[in-house]
Structure 1
Amino acid sequence: MSAPRFLIDTNVFIGLEDHAEVAPHFASLQQLAGRHGVEIFVHEAAIDDIRRDKDETRRRVSLSKIKKFPVIGKMAGIDQTLLEAKYGRIRRPNDLVDATLLHALDIGVADFLVTEDQGLHERAERISSTFGARVLYVADAVSFLRTTYEAVAVVLPAVVEMEANTISQDDPIFVSLRGDYPGFDDWWREKCIKPMRKCWVVMDEGNVAGLLVRKDEKSGDTDATLPGQKILKICTFKVRTESRGVKLGELLLKQVLWHAQSNNHDVVYLTTFPGQQTLMALLEYYGFRHTHDNSNGEKVYEKAIGRDRLLRPDGISLFDLARENYPRFATGDGVAAYAIPIQEEFHEILFPELMNRKQFSLFGDTGFQRPGNTIRKVYLCRAPAQLSQPGALLFFYKGKSESQPSQAITTVGVFEEMKLAHSTEELRRLAGGRSVYSDTQLRNLAATQNRPVKVINFLLAAHLEPPMQLAALKSSSVFAGHPPQSIKNLLPAQQMSVLGQGAFGFAI
């Protein structure tokens, strides 16, 4: 059984081999891959890309350095027409390179593609969500390698609330903020430090990896254009360069949207410069819309936070409805629901924020948690049930456990799609960049042709507060007797009995 193969885009190769100092996250990628026997490949099409560089000296140096990497050759007989039909419109030579890289990923010659190109991520996501999860930013590739091969040692942080005056202005995250915003230090001192403005912060190894500054506004005193009396402005949304990818941004966005939904905000909005393509794509995926531009060229993204029952209009799937209205989701008649039993070990991997707080000392600090606390997740099992309705509700039942909660439904998810993995290699690919499982855990599942593993992609929608205990599940006829040992279909009345336990900030 081989380790996964990483195919790197030209922009990643340049980041690793450029004349300039190698950025820490690029160096970490190369070090972790080397340590764990993960091969890094380049594609013959990327070499063609370098040959088009008009700077002769740079072209010669790049071509000499790229020889350090093994090369994946082009497939004979695959022309532009075939690539365009599968991977989207090809207008420029660079688009042809992108489609060729995706083809190499698609046929399995590489397990993951690492690129900083937002357009390439979007191409992959349009093919399928599972395929898109195999295209990683450098920061997410580093996170994947750490989680997969160094899971015992990994200590990645959760979001913590801090006051601006408690954050050191010498932290490296402020360097790029000063570059982006002239007069940033004065603004930070006057508008954030003096009023001790609340911030959400993600710490990593003593430094700020992600920073989000919030402000409550009212109608008539805001740049938001959507109607509403209670408005949440995100003044600063920053992920440090070496941590930039999907996971930390999603972690911070989850904090924003759960806070807004729970605290009866009508609108959430923020501004971003046009070059922040990764952030804009993340915002749009979860229902933010670009409403206008400020005078300084910043784009304003707004999202309405509804509290009515979510009804499905014609022409949209239940999953897309939930994604665009996140964290709301559709319920009741016409919405399938399942109880999913999950062992304590995997519950703590998927939902680390629910671990008994006394356990956090195992990971070094009570404010730190393992890296499962994002929105898009993957669950692995061998249950015989076939889940087919995107947007179906998943109720995770944690079995008898040493730590609390025990024997209770704790969490609501929104089903996206299910795939079958027939080998460990295929399991790695299908779990993709969302995986929070170690390589040992993946291998122990022993996926084979005759005993495949189900890969269930879902959105984390909510946690029940408090969890619905087994006694209540029995008394309300959600469970007739013993708790299920496999995925169990729930009737609409059973679904509503579980949902009635929670406080979601919107009508169910």
Structure 2
Amino acid sequence: MSAPRYLIDTNVFIGLEDHAEVAPVFSSLLQLATRHSVGVFVHEAAIDDIRRDKDEARRRVSLSKIQKFPAIKKTVGIDQAALEAKFGRIRKANDLVDATLLHALDMEVADFLVTEDQGLHERAERISPTFGARVLYVADAVSLLRTTYEAIDVVLPAVVEVEAHTLPQDDPIFESLRSDYAPFDTWWRDKCVKAMRKCWVVMDDKRIAGLVVRKDEKPGDTDATLQGDKILKVCTFKVRPESRGVKLGELLLKQVLWYAQTNKHDVVYLTTFPTQATLISLLEYYGFEHTHNNKGGEMVYEKSLSRSRLLPEPAVSLFDLARRNYPRFATGDGVAAYAIPIQEDFHEILFPELVPPVIQMSLFSDSGAQRPGNTIRKVYLCRAPAMISQPGALLFFYKGKSEGIPSQAITTVGVFEEMSFARSTEELRRLAGGRSVYSDVQLRMMNASEDRPVKVINFLLAAHLEPPMSLDALRQTNVFAERPPQSIKNLAPAQQISVLERGTFGFAT
């Protein structure tokens, strides 16, 4: 069984080998890969990219340094027209390099591509969600390597609510905020500290990895243009540069949107500069719209939140409807629903926020209960014979008999995206992709093969039932017969309604 190969883009190589100080997350990528015998490769096309550098001295140094990485050679006979047909329009030399890197990924010469180029991520996502999940930011590649090979040691991030005055002003995240906004210290002291404004933070090794500052606003005293009486402004949405990627940003955005929907906000908005391409892509994926630019030149992104039932739209898939209106999802006639039994161990991996909170030391107090969390887009692995084909179908996860609470209950609602099959451990690693929360040991123990493929189910985490729907309640409402299902079970419309009636989602279902 071969070790996975990580192909790095030119921008990652430069981040590793530049004359400037190497960011910790770039160093971690190589350290983890070396420690676990994971191959890190460059591509001949990237070497061509460096050869086009007009700075002769820099070009010579870069070419000398890139030699220490093994190179994936270009495929003979593949022309620009073929690459363009598969990977999108090629307008310039950099686009050709991007398409060539994606071709290597598509051929499975490389398992994952690591790049900070937002355009390259978008190209991959247009191929398919599964393919897009194999293109990683550096921070997400580091997270995947840690999860895959050091799962026992990984502490999942926890979103903690604090007041602004409790945060240490010498934390490195504030340095980048000051560089983005010169009057930051004055604004922070006068508007946040004095007002004891509420914040959400994610900690990493006693430092702030991500920060959200929120503020309630009303019509007439807001930069929002969408209509609504209750407006949530996200004053600050910041991920520390070395932690920047999709996963941490998604965790924070989930916190914002679940809070806003539950607390009956009509609009949520934030401002950002055009250079924040990763954040902008994340916002647009989940339905934020660029409505205007403010006086400071920042782009204002807004999202309406409704408490009415989400109805299907012609020519729009139910999945796209759900992601654009997240955290709402369509229900009822025409929306398929399934109960998915899941063992306790895998339930805790996929939904760590439902594990009873542990008491641990906190930066903000002597002790406190913290619930970990993870991303919105997830992947579930199983061998159930049932097929799910409708993007946007509802997935009700049923936690089987467990030592921890809850036991034998439907806990969680997901929105189905797509299903694929892995017929080897190598293919399983690739298909689980950047959304994987499984260790390499767990992936290998599944023994994926041609005869016994593993199903890879991609979905959005939509909501948790609070409280979970117990087995007794499921029997009383005829969702389940006497015995709970041992495999994926299709639910009739009436059964779907019975489950949804037990949830409090912040919108009608």
Pairwise TM-score range, normalised by the shorter structure: over 0.9
Classify 1:365/1:122 alpha carbon distance in 2 versus 1 (closer, same or farther; 3 Å).
farther
1 CA distance for matches of 2:386 and 2:359? 33
Partner of 1:383: 384
Deviations 1:395-449 (A, max 9, x none): 0000000000000000000000000000000000000000000000000000001
| Aligned match of 2:500 | 499
The residue type equivalent to 2:468 in the other structure is: P
With over 3 angstroms needed to count, the CA separation of the structure-2 counterparts of 1:9 and 1:294, relative to structure 1, is: same
2:236 corresponds to which letter in structure 1?
T
Note if contact 1:156-1:204 (Cα within 8 Å) is conserved in structure 2.
Answer: no
**Letter of the 2:110 counterpart:** A
Q: Match of 1:421?
A: 422
Structure 2: distance between partners of 1:9 and 1:111 = 14
**1:68-119 CA distance string (max 9 Å, x none):** 0000000011000000000000000000000000000000000000000000
Q: In 1, distance between residues paired with 2:7 and 2:76?
A: 19
Identity %: 78
Deviation readout 1:181-204 (Å, 9 max, x if unpaired): 011000000000001000010011
Q: Alpha-carbon deviation of 1:149?
A: 0.3
**Which SS does the other structure have where 1:68 is aligned?**
coil
Contact 2:359/2:370 (8 A) holds in 1? no
Q: Is the 8 A contact 2:138 2:245 kept in 1?
A: yes
Paired amino acid for 2:471: L
Q: Is the 8 A contact 2:357 2:371 kept in 1?
A: no
Displacement after TM superposition at 1:366 (Å): 5.4
For residues 312-363 of structure 1, what are the alpha-carbon distances to aligned partners after superposition, in whole Å with 9 as ceiling and x for unaligned?
11110000000000000000110000000000000000000000124879xx
Quote the residue 2:239 is aligned against.
239
Q: State how far apart, in whole Å, the 2-side matches of 1:228 and 1:503 are.
A: 22
Separation in 1, partners of 2:374, 2:9: 28
**What letter is aligned with 1:224?**
A
Hey, what's the Cα distance between the residues in 2 that align with 1:65 and 1:357? 47
| Cα deviation 1:254-310 (Å, max 9, x = unaligned) | 000000000000000000001000000000000000000011110000000011110
**Matched position secondary structure for 1:418:** strand
- AA aligned opposite 2:500: L
Contact 2:213–2:237 (8 Å) recurs in 1: yes
Does the CA contact (< 8 Å) of 2:409 and 2:469 recur in 1?
yes
Is the alpha carbon distance of 1:242 and 1:367 closer, same or farther for their aligned partners in structure 2, counting shifts above 3 Å? farther
In structure 2, what is the Cα distance between the partners aligned to 1:9 and 1:68? Answer: 15
Is the CA contact (8 Å cut-off) linking 1:226 and 1:304 kept in structure 2?
A: yes
| CA–CA separation in structure 2 for the residues paired with 1:222 and 1:276 | 22
Query: Matched residue of 1:346: which SS?
Result: helix
DSSP-derived class of the 2:37 partner: coil
Whole-angstrom CA distance in 2 between matches of 1:376 and 1:97: 28
Do the aligned partners of 2:212 and 2:235 also contact (CA within 8 Å) in 1?
Answer: yes
Question: What's 1:106 paired with?
Answer: 106
Structure 1 unaligned regions, length at least 5? none
SS, match of residue 236 in structure 1: strand
Contact 1:338–1:489 (CA under 8 A) maintained in structure 2: yes
> In the alignment, what sits opposite 1:281?
281
4+ residue segments displaced more than 3 Å? 358-361, 364-370
**Equivalents in 2 of 1:216, 1:357: separation in Å?**
29
Please give the alpha-carbon distance, in whole angstroms, between the structure 1 residues aligned to 2:248 and 2:336: 31
Would the aligned equivalents of 1:155 and 1:368 in 2 still touch at CA under 8 Å? no
Secondary structure of the residue aligned to 1:185 is helix
Larger CA deviation: 440-449 vs 372-381: 372-381
Which residue number in structure 2 is paired with residue 323 of structure 1?
Answer: 323
Residue 262 of structure 2: aligned partner: 262
Matched, 1:195 2:195: yes
Please tell me whether the aligned partners of residues 270 and 301 of structure 1 are also in contact (alpha carbons under 8 angstroms): yes
How far apart in 2 are the matches of 1:366 and 1:321? Answer: 38
Secondary structure of 2:40's match? strand
Given that 1:156 and 1:368 are in contact with CA atoms closer than 8 Å, whether structure 2 keeps it comes out as no
SS in 1 for 2:155: coil
Q: Post-superposition shift, 1:368? A: 5.0
- Secondary structure of 1:177's counterpart equals helix
* 2:185 aligned counterpart, secondary structure: helix
**Aligned positions of 1:25-424 closer than 5 A:** 25-358=25-358, 367=369, 373-424=374-425
Q: C-alpha deviations, 1:151-171, integer Å up to 9, x for none?
A: 000113211100000000000
CA distance in structure 1 between the aligned counterparts of 2:348 and 2:79, rounded to whole angstroms:
47
SS class of match (1:232): strand
Distance in 2 of aligned mates of 1:434 and 1:351: 13
Cα distance in 2 between the residues matched to 1:107 and 1:368: 43
Q: Aligned-residue CA RMSD in angstroms?
A: 1.2
Quick one: distance in 2 between partners of 1:212 and 1:378?
A: 26
Q: Deviations over 1:219-273 (max 9, x none)?
A: 1110000000000000000000010000000000000000000000000000000
Distance 1:472 1:438 in 2: 34
Q: Secondary structure at the match of 1:269?
A: strand
Residue 489 (1) aligns with residue 490 (2): yes
SS in 1 for 2:78: coil
Report the AA paired with residue 393 of structure 1.
L
Q: How far apart are the structure 2 equivalents of 1:63 and 1:365?
A: 51
Q: In the alignment, is the contact (CA less than 8 A) between 2:414 and 2:461 conserved in 1?
A: yes
Q: 1:284 & 1:365 partners in 2: Cα distance?
A: 37
In structure 1, distance between residues paired with 2:24 and 2:72: 26
Aligned counterpart, 1:3: 3
Q: Is the 8 A contact 2:359 2:367 kept in 1?
A: no
User: Which amino acid is the alignment partner of residue 12 of structure 1?
Assistant: V
Match for residue 458 of structure 2?
457
TM-score (norm 1): 0.98
Q: What is the match of residue 469 of structure 1?
A: 470
1:357/1:366 contact within 8 Å kept:
no
| Length, aligned pairs only | 505
Secondary structure of 1:419's counterpart equals: strand
2-side partners of 1:279 and 1:288: how far apart? Answer: 11
Offset, 1:2 = 1.7
8 A contact 1:269–1:302 mirrored in 2: yes
Partner AA of 1:310 in structure 2:
L
Q: Does 1:436 align with 2:451?
A: no
Distance 1:244 1:155 in 2: 18
TM value normalised by structure 2: 0.98
Q: Distance in 2 between matches of 1:368 and 1:241?
A: 24
Give the Cα–Cα distance (whole angstroms) in 2 for the partners of residues 44 and 170 of structure 1.
Answer: 43
CA contact (8 A) 1:158 1:367 kept: no
